[in-house]
């Protein structure tokens, strides 16, 4: 029984990381580019770091949303169809 619980928890954590990955990667890349730009030009403006990240993460969310929805629907259908095997 513990194997089932650990398996479900593992799948849930994996799914969470997959869903967050596109936005995290875009935020990381934009943050790195902005930091390099700030270091080269010595411009230390706080809004320069937040506004591009917010816009980039929002765009990543818009573009990744269909994939995210399909992945979550497939995961949920798989989880619901496996319920009879979990309760035996």
pLDDT the model gives residue 44: 81
Q: Is the pLDDT of residue 1 over 80?
A: no
CA-to-CA distance for 7 and 82, rounded, in angstroms?
A: 12
Domain that includes residue 72, residue range:
2-86
pLDDT higher at 23 or 41: 23
Q: How does pLDDT run across 16-33, given as a tens digit for each residue?
A: 999 999 999 999 999 999
What total number of domains does the chain contain? 1
**pLDDT at residue 45 is higher than 90:** no
């Amino acid at each position: 029984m513990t194997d089932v619980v650990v398996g479900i928890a593992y799948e849930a954590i994996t799914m969470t990381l997959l869903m967050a990955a596109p936005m995290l990667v875009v935020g990381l890349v934009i943050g790195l580019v902005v930091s390099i730009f700030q270091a080269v030009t010595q411009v230390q403006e706080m809004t320069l770091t937040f506004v591009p990240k917010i816009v980039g993460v929002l765009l990543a969310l818009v573009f990744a949303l269909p994939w995210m929805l399909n992945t979550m629907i497939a995961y949920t259908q798989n989880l619901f169809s496996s319920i009879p095997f979990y309760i035996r």
